[in-house]
Amino acid sequence: MRALAVTTAARSPFLPDVPTIAEAGVPGYDSEVWWALMGPGGMPADVVDKIARDCLAALQRQAVKDRLTTVGAIALGGTSRELDALIRADYEKWGPIIRNAGIKAE
């Protein structure tokens, strides 16, 4: 098997010689996978902030970084506001495509 391109905007540190889809001919293409920790709506801000701080601290630990690397992931972390912006941007990007294709959750 030979990798043709990665779907992220930047080249992967795991496959530095593999171009991005944008480099391979589809300008502006960027599709990446992300994971997030979420709680119920209406959580007190101080609880959200503490959980976010604790998660960011965990993501800075070398053992956590090493484990994520073994599954091809990069630990980034961020704030709840950054996650909100990411979710909203993905909704704007993928929402019309999903609706136009008639995709429904099962």
Rounded to whole angstroms, the Cα distance separating 8 from 1 reads 20
Q: Are 76 and 97 in contact (CB under 8 A)?
A: no
Instruction: Give the angle subtended at the CA of 53 by the CAs of 65 and 82, to the nearest 5°.
Output: 85
- Alpha-carbon torsion, ordered 13, 19, 21, 25, to 10 deg: 160
Q: What is the mean pLDDT of residues 88-92?
A: 95
Q: Given a cut of 90, is residue 72 above it in pLDDT?
A: no
Q: What is the pLDDT of residue 66?
A: 94
Assign 11 a pLDDT band (cuts: 50, 70, 90): very high
Q: What is the pLDDT of residue 44?
A: 96
Q: Given a cut of 90, is residue 59 above it in pLDDT?
A: yes
Q: What is the pLDDT of residue 2?
A: 93
Q: Given a cut of 90, is residue 77 above it in pLDDT?
A: no
